[in-house]
């Protein structure tokens, strides 16, 4: 059987094993060698096992694009870039070339990590004279829109770490935009829900509301304008987006809606490669995650707080009130620190080394698992500050980027903030964890040349003093909860690639799924199915998904937690695990994504 063939989706138990073997035998006898075995119906493309490579993303066509690169000999970066451009087309409500994001890359041969921050940025000098008081709360403007980083970030990552050409990796996206694809239920719902955004600009209205009616499930969405823009980028590179007619068109739309961005802001924009991944550890595993102003600090802090606890022996939080308390109190502590300290490291100084130091973590751990829910959890106060130019070593060849005080400037805690995520492992053990976003659903709604502009820019109205405008960098990036993460085993080989969309619930969901895989030893699909906990740090309110033992809920309520029901569907996980010669890809069944691999 060819290595390109999909492996039958694993299930546990003898009966299921026999069924899987019979399926393989049947397919092997009836299909040509090299054909792909269909996914097990019960998993509907959400879980796949292979031995070589895997892509997990929020749409099957996007995962197919990544798989195509892998099958043609490309590496994890080639696959991730192709998947990302494809998602810009088939999931336009969540991401697009008008948005931004970040990518964490692991090179297995060199055992090195690299990180590029291409999140939406705004050049400070362009906003110093803006009169924010001229706009009422309900007045439309595009002041929240920043310079999109997706195109330059993806193409620079391809040039640095990929092996394929722009034309190759962008071909699937151009094809999907040109030929169209069937509108699926989630996209149809968002199109209906966002009528005001999608009918404000003629191009968006023609695309999503042809003949004045929203595109419905099963109808074909074609995006010829976007196809032309993508084709220009594939032929000429990032300059086709950040210079010339396209940049002028964007600036004109922004200026017409009160945003003073200039053509020079686009021409001078650069993704930031100088932020090395944060690094922590958990019971022998190395944790690589996003530096600030993204939120890897949360993941590392939380896992460090939890490391001494034998949670596997205590029990799952769905079955043990003690485990529920330990996990929930940890998340409240790290949420408090995140809201206080996360912001752009080029603009403010934060003691990042101390925030994830053993001494600080040990002191904060005194408030974990007390058996009584604190009414309010405050942020911690490390003993000394570290300049953003003082990079503390965490291991050979790796340093930690610093962080800065974001306070209320960080991204929304609401579930309405939307994003997308891609996880990839290739046959050489290289890996990519990549998150991109428009911020809110369909971003700002502003339409230019086939794509929608973000509303992810930093809000300069918060800067009240002249000294607040002083920085070592001309562009400012707002705080974001995206947290692309890669976990290595004791041999420095990739164990888990993980990330999620979901606004303020992203880091808590990543933490819980990481624990279920590393600590409890759950299959990654079972880990994703586990009901989640989303606590508030300012109050003992805890939102949960269904699936907790009612006696556990009674006991934690007696501890002082105010348990509240949570609707499903947020912080959808896309992950790939590598272990014992197998690669297991999982796409969260709460959403439309699927995995592809071999």
pLDDT of residue 348 exceeding 80: yes
- Known binding residue 459? Answer is yes
The mean predicted confidence, pLDDT, of the chain is: 88
Q: 413 vs 507, which has greater pLDDT? A: 507
Domains of the chain: 47-180+222-283+417-597 (3.60.20.40)
| Close Cβ partners of 291 (under 8 Å, ≥ 6 residues apart) | 115, 117, 275, 276, 277, 278, 345, 400, 401, 403
pLDDT digits (tens, 9 = 90+) for 140-178: 999 999 999 999 999 999 999 999 999 999 999 999 999
Task: Specify the residue for token string 């085993």.
Answer: 489
**pLDDT band at residue 447 using 50, 70 and 90 as cut-offs:** very high
DSSP-derived secondary structure letter, 184: P
**What does the pLDDT average to over 50-65?**
97
Secondary structure of 529-541 in HEC code, one letter for each residue: HCCCEEECCCCCE
**Lowest model confidence (mean pLDDT) among 53-57, 247-251, 341-345:** 341-345
State the DSSP string of 465-518. Answer: SGGGG--SSSEEE-------EEEE-TTS-EEEEEE---GGGHHHHHHHHHHHHH
pLDDT of residue 395 exceeding 50: no
Strands 562-565 and 541-544: parallel
| Close Cβ partners of 145 (under 8 Å, ≥ 6 residues apart) | 120, 254, 259, 261, 443, 444, 446, 453, 454, 455, 456, 457
What's the confidence (pLDDT) of residue 6?
40
Q: 33 vs 10, which has greater pLDDT? A: 10
CA contacts within 13 A on the Cβ side of 71: 18
pLDDT of residue 38 exceeding 50: no
**pLDDT band at residue 202 using 50, 70 and 90 as cut-offs:** very high
**pLDDT band at residue 9 using 50, 70 and 90 as cut-offs:** very low
pLDDT of residue 37 exceeding 80: no
What's the confidence (pLDDT) of residue 565?
85
**pLDDT band at residue 570 using 50, 70 and 90 as cut-offs:** low
pLDDT of residue 452 exceeding 60: yes
Of all residues in the chain, the percent with pLDDT exceeding 90 is 79
What's the confidence (pLDDT) of residue 571?
79
pLDDT of residue 415 exceeding 50: no
**What does the pLDDT average to over 510-538?**
96
**pLDDT band at residue 401 using 50, 70 and 90 as cut-offs:** very low
pLDDT of residue 399 exceeding 70: no
Secondary structure of 424-467 in HEC code, one letter for each residue: EECCCCCEEEEEEEEEECCCCCCEECCEECCCCCCCHHHCCCHH
Locate 154 and state its tokens.
Answer: 């993806």
Give the global pTM. Answer: 0.88
Contact 41, 571 (CB under 8 A): no
Locate 567 and state its tokens.
Answer: 């609707």
- List, in sequence order, every beta strand (DSSP E) within 127-227: 181-182, 220-221
Please report how the helices 76-90 and 60-71 are oriented relative to each other, as an axis angle in degrees rounded to 10: 150
CA 39 to chain centre: 25
- Known binding residue 481? Answer is yes
pLDDT of residue 504 exceeding 90: no
Q: From CA 169, how far away is CA 82, in angstroms rounded?
A: 5
**Lowest model confidence (mean pLDDT) among 222-231, 389-398, 434-443, 517-526:** 389-398
Q: From CA 266, how far away is CA 317, in angstroms rounded?
A: 48
**What does the pLDDT average to over 95-116?**
97
Among all residues, which ones are annotated catalytic? 419
**pLDDT band at residue 98 using 50, 70 and 90 as cut-offs:** very high
Task: Specify the residue for token string 């790290």.
Answer: 334
What's the confidence (pLDDT) of residue 397?
27
What's the confidence (pLDDT) of residue 568?
56
State the DSSP string of 73-120. Answer: T--HHHHHHHHHHHHHHH-TTT--TTSEEEEEEEETTTTEEEEEE---
- Known binding residue 503? Answer is yes
pLDDT digits (tens, 9 = 90+) for 528-553: 999 999 999 999 999 999 999 999 99
**What does the pLDDT average to over 174-192?**
97
What's the confidence (pLDDT) of residue 269?
97
**pLDDT band at residue 567 using 50, 70 and 90 as cut-offs:** low
pLDDT digits (tens, 9 = 90+) for 350-386: 888 889 999 999 999 999 999 999 999 999 998 743 3
What's the confidence (pLDDT) of residue 18?
39
pLDDT of residue 201 exceeding 70: yes
**Lowest model confidence (mean pLDDT) among 1-5, 29-33, 191-195:** 29-33
Q: From CA 158, how far away is CA 278, in angstroms rounded?
A: 22
**pLDDT band at residue 62 using 50, 70 and 90 as cut-offs:** very high
pLDDT digits (tens, 9 = 90+) for 277-318: 999 999 999 999 999 999 999 999 999 999 999 999 999 999
pLDDT of residue 324 exceeding 90: yes
**pLDDT band at residue 86 using 50, 70 and 90 as cut-offs:** very high
């Amino acid at each position: 059987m060819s290595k390109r063939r999909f492996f039958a989706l694993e299930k546990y138990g003898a009966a299921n094993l026999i069924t899987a073997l019979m399926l393989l035998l049947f397919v092997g006898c009836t299909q040509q060698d090299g054909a792909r075995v269909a996914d097990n119906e019960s998993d509907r493309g959400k879980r796949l096992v292979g031995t070589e490579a895997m892509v997990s993303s929020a749409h099957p066509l996007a995962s197919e694009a990544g798989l195509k690169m892998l099958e043609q000999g490309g590496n994890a970066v080639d696959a991730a870039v192709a998947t990302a451009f494809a998602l810009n087309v088939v999931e336009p409500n969540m991401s697009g070339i008008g948005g931004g994001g970040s990518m964490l890359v692991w090179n297995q041969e060199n055992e090195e990590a690299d990180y590029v921050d291409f999140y939406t940025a705004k050049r400070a000098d362009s906003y110093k004279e803006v009169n924010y008081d001229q706009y009422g709360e309900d007045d439309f403007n595009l002041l929240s829109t920043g310079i999109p980083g997706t195109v330059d970030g993806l193409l620079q990552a391809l040039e640095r770490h990929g092996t394929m050409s722009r034309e190759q990796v962008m071909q699937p996206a151009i094809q999907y935009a040109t030929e169209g694809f069937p509108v699926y239920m989630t996209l149809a719902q968002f199109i209906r829900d966002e009528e005001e955004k999608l009918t404000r600009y003629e191009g968006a209205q023609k695309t999503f509301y042809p003949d004045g009616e929203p595109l419905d499930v099963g109808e074909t969405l074609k995006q010829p304008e976007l196809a032309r823009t993508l084709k220009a980028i594939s032929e000429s590179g990032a300059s086709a987006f950040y210079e010339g007619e396209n940049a002028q068109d964007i600036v004109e739309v922004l200026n017409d809606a009160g945003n003073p961005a200039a053509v020079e802001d686009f021409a001078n924009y650069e993704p930031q490669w100088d932020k090395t991944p944060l690094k922590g550890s958990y019971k022998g595993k190395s944790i690589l995650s996003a530096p600030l102003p993204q939120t890897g600090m949360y993941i590392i802090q939380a896992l460090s707080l939890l490391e001494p606890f034998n949670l596997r022996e205590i029990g799952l939080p769905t079955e043990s009130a003690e485990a529920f308390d330990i996990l929930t109190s940890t998340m409240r502590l790290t949420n408090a620190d995140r809201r206080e300290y996360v912001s752009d490291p080029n603009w403010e100084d934060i003691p990042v080394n101390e925030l994830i130091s053993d001494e600080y973590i040990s002191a904060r751990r005194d408030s974990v698992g007390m058996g009584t829910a604190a009414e309010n959890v405050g942020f911690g106060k490390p003993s000394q500050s570290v300049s953003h130019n003082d990079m503390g070593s965490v291991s050979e060849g790796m340093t930690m980027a610093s962080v800065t005080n974001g306070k209320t400037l960080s991204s929304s805690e609401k579930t309405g903030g939307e994003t997308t995520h891609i996880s990839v492992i290739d046959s050489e053990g290289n890996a990519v964890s990549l998150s991109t976003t428009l911020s809110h659903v369909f971003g700002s709604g502003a339409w230019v040349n086939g794509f929608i502009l973000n509303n992810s820019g930093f809000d300069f109205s918060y800067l009240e003093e002249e000294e607040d405008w002083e920085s070592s960098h001309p562009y400012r990036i707002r705080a974001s909860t995206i947290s692309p993460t890669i976990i290595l085993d004791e041999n420095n080989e990739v164990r888990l690639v993980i990330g999620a969309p979901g606004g303020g619930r992203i880091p808590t969901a990543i933490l819980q799924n990481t624990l279920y895989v590393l600590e409890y030893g759950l299959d990654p699909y079972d880990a994703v199915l586990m009901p989640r906990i989303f606590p508030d740090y300012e109050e003992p309110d805890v939102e949960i998904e269904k699936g907790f033992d009612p006696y556990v809920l009674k006991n934690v309520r007696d501890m002082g937690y105010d348990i509240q029901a949570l609707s499903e569907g947020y912080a959808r996980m896309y992950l790939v695990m590598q272990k014992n010669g197998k690669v297991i890809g999982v796409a969260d069944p709460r959403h439309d994504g699927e995995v592809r691999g071999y």
